[in-house]
Structure 1
């Protein structure tokens, strides 16, 4: 039966696993667990193709317990019930190890069905997920498990796996010489974006689809690698972590005035075709992070956003890049968001009191009888269109919500009003 190359070269020992040295390196926690052979409940979190399933299989192989494997994509409560029914049999006398792949696809009820048996130790759960477990996994399961984060592979690690795959392929093609040059290996690695499985699949397609040359050699160079590799893997899910992580990095790069990083994260969002999220984030940044330091930024961004929505991709990338660079290079101030958040906090937490009577609506018959508006001073009747009077409620009259940012524009305005009010 045909076995995909990625499955054929799957490591069976920790020494064969590439990458993840922060948890698998000598003396690291997961390494110690595997070497010790004592298994606890674990959750493996990370992108596809970085070794989660491989490491889970290695750990399970070391346990002297009955081993079950389910994929939450197509498993059901019935499958879990069948495992639970076997706990009282001879096979389950020492407990069982359940490896549950893609656990985020189990709903709350399905996850809860495991709790009793995880808690008393009859089931040891090793689960994997590509989504943030703190968002998608039932909190009671998380509290009984150790979460290990798997990182995207470095190019050097992916190339190690590719070299190992080539060696195995040579064994399968003993009557044919296979040569994969360094540029091809580098291309497979770079286009995989840290996904070892993706890189190996590309290599397998290249070798299986390339005929031997006149010298009987299957030669895989960069050109062949390009032909046999799909578009670069890009980890992006509109409802998942990658979506919010990229948006977060995008805004923080603009806030930090790093134009290069801002354009980089914009390119990721453009590649994903997520025009709505880009536009919304640019609009809020214009007020949240630039605000009164450069008020015109909001108008420029609105114009760029309107242009982008009218154009659509691919041309939309241009006005979006313009808006991004305007914001990244603009002076920064968070005085707007600080002011409104401070005011909202008072509304939530403080007895705000009544509106001063002289500010209340006086445009109706009988208003004067209620004292409405009688003591109100109309600012335009005074010099510089200003007259001192109380506007905040009595309970808040000493509050100061707006604190000018330390930038040229707000300083000029602050100095102007300071002079007028004095």
Structure 2
């Protein structure tokens, strides 16, 4: 294997996660949707027919491990690049060598590119012809959705495989393998994990095998051997070894949009607990509380609307409080607004109405303002502006029927939720009055 940036390390000094890298397909735990019996990726690996591909998913889920396993199994020349450090010159050098190698000896080159989402458009454009001609077989690895970061031309010449966070059962198997392997693992350390310590390490790993193995190695190597010749890993040791779980949330990635989407949909779905969780996760990861507050404002107007007019008032008050307070205190008015909006009755009638009105304004027949509704300050006598206008407050019930819109269309259809039931009832009364000969002159609407 050739590396543009080689790192020399003895077997003993390598991290546990590296030493335990799978050497057979049976060593992989999890990713059954990709590597289970009969699955496409497993068939490709077993037949040594893997073509250009992009592996994407959270850290520690086996992307790099599988890519290196495929590389070791193939008879190709292996070149590894990290997109964070490799420039255009490095990429061109690797591609030119691959083309020369193929032409001279027929040897294929398997190009492993870690963090491929860091390649800019120019770098991806440099890579494209080599992939297209078959000079290299590309396996790109990324924690991001490739649809957002890999250009369409390159992605269309690759197969994207999504790696999911590892379930706890898979992490348990990885932990057992690490403790039982006396060669590459920690089998010779005679470690004994208390059940609570074991459960804590697995739970706090958050589906990340690398995080689990790093914490386990730290716990074992820093725990002295006791009189019985064993290292007893307690819950306290496990807690110190893994400490606070890192939150998978990058404000510059699609994680940002996934979390805010879950947050808004939880409020819309009337689940205050879920909404609070997604908000808390964003805030804990350093999201701007004003960004969150703006989304609460939007949800209050779009999804609660007139079903509870107080929701918008509370959301706006929370937004102003966030501007004044900042974190960490801003979390308190945000929580009040989020729980109120989530628990409030829902109606999107006003939202649907304005969109319908916009469509009518853009696509419907042209309408001029009726003369009696026009501004009468300048052209009342010469052009008849404002003449015949009926001032609603001069009529019983402060209502009078007159033409307010040529070729009228009904946009606002209150659906009877919460306070909107009262609005719907009033509009029904007004609609009935319109059909009377002297609308608005009798009865209170």
TM-score, scaled relative to structure 1? 0.92
Please, what is the CA RMSD of the aligned residues? 2.1
Given the superposition, is the C-alpha separation of residues 142 and 178 from structure 1 closer, same or farther in structure 2, using an over 3 Å criterion? Answer: same
Q: State the partner residue of 1:290.
A: 304
2:391 alignment counterpart: 378
1:337 maps to what in 2?
351
Q: List aligned pairs for 1:198-213, cutoff 5 A.
A: 198-213=211-226
Matched ranges for 1:6-405 at <5 A: 6-90=17-101, 93-168=106-181, 176-274=189-287, 275-364=289-378, 366-392=379-405, 394=406, 397-405=407-415
Structure 1 range deviating more: 147-156 or 367-376: 367-376
Q: Distance in 2 between matches of 1:399 and 1:330?
A: 29
- Matches of 1:264 and 1:358, distance apart in 2: 54
Residues 236-284 of structure 1, C-alpha deviations (whole Å, 9 max, x = no match)? 1112122211111111112111233222222222322322232111111
Deviations 1:47-97 (CA, angstroms, capped at 9, x unpaired): 111111111112223333222111101111112211221234345624322
Instruction: Indicate how the Cα distance of structure 1 residues 341 and 173 shifts in structure 2: closer, same or farther if over 3 A, else same.
Output: closer
Q: Give 1:351 shift.
A: 4.7
Whether the aligned pair in 2 keeps the contact of 1:66 and 1:91 (CA below 8 Å) is no
Q: Where does the alignment leave 5 or more consecutive residues of structure 1 unmatched? A: none
Structure 2: distance between partners of 1:149 and 1:97: 20
Give the equivalent residue in structure 1 for 2:420. 410
CA distance in 2, matches of 1:51, 1:176: 25
- For 2:17, what is the secondary structure of its paired residue? helix
Tell whether the 8 Å contact from 2:180 to 2:186 is kept in structure 1 after alignment: no
Secondary structure at 2:369's aligned position in 1? coil
Q: 1:419 is matched with which residue? A: 429
Please give the alpha-carbon distance, in whole angstroms, between the structure 1 residues aligned to 2:189 and 2:157: 52
Question: How far apart are the structure 1 equivalents of 2:382 and 2:52?
Answer: 74
Alpha-carbon contact 1:176-1:216 (below 8 Å) kept: no
Residue pair 2:112, 2:139 contacting (<8 A) in 1 also: yes
Query: Residues 176, 112 of structure 1: CA spacing in aligned structure 2 closer, same or farther, 3 A cutoff?
Result: closer
User: What is the deviation of 1:28?
Assistant: 1.1
Runs of 4+ displaced beyond 4 Å: 169-176
Q: Deviations over 1:118-176 (max 9, x none)?
A: 11222221111111111111111111221111111112211211222222367677875
Deviation at 1:183, TM superposition (A): 2.0
CA distance in 1, matches of 2:251, 2:223: 37
The C-alpha deviation readout for 1:181-236, integer Å capped at 9, x for no partner, is 33222111111211111111111111222222233322212110111223112101
